[in-house]
């Protein structure tokens, strides 16, 4: 039994020897060409900032505790962010894809409520 590749090879040799036009051969070969599918263009997801909002009642130490435990910051970095929250009214705790940012914000708000602190967080799309 002759395979399709062998059949096409024999056709090509026969046509080359006879000097015939190769249009039929080209058509036969192009019918059997398999093209790789185009790679989809992937886009990075939009990123969101988790912001802690200042209030007059939540102890600074509690804010540092939140930043260390929910956002895995070092004590020094958490203190810097806490001071930014205190002095400017809000501070960025982290930047994440939307679903992660929403989860972290919800966790912080729930934890603050459980500990009877009015600390609030929210998310905003990054620029």
Q: In the predicted model, is pLDDT for residue 20 greater than 60? A: no
Specify whether 11 is located in the same domain as 71: no
Instruction: Please tell me whether residues 12 and 52 are part of one structural domain.
Output: no
Q: How far apart are CA 122 and CA 89, in angstroms?
A: 13
Residues 98 and 115 both lie in one domain:
yes
Q: Are residues 69 and 104 in the same domain?
A: yes
* Overall average pLDDT of the 55-82 stretch: 97
23 and 65 fall within a common domain: no
77 and 100 housed in the same domain? yes
Query: Using an 8 Å Cβ cutoff, are 117 and 57 in contact?
Result: yes
Q: Are residues 62 and 121 in the same domain?
A: yes
The DSSP H or E segment spanning 87 is helix 75-88
**Do 124 and 47 contact (CB within 8 A), yes or no?**
no
Q: In the structure, what pLDDT confidence band is assigned to residue 84 with cuts at 50, 70 and 90?
A: very high
pLDDT at 16: 72
d(CA 77, CA 75): 6
Q: Give the domain extent around 15.
A: 1-39
Are 112 and 61 within one domain? yes
pLDDT of residue 19: 65
């Amino acid at each position: 039994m002759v395979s399709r590749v062998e059949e096409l090879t024999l056709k090509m040799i026969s046509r080359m020897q006879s000097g015939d036009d190769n249009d039929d051969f080209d058509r036969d070969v192009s019918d059997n060409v398999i093209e790789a599918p185009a790679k989809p263009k992937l886009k990075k997801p939009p990123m969101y900032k988790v912001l802690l909002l200042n209030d007059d009642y939540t102890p600074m130490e509690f804010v540092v505790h939140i930043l260390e435990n929910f956002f895995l910051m070092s004590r020094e970095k958490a203190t810097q962010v806490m001071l930014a929250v205190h002095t400017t009214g809000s501070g960025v705790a982290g930047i994440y894809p939307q679903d992660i940012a929403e989860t972290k914000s919800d966790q912080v708000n729930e934890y603050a409520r459980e500990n009877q602190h009015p600390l609030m967080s929210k998310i905003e799309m990054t620029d």
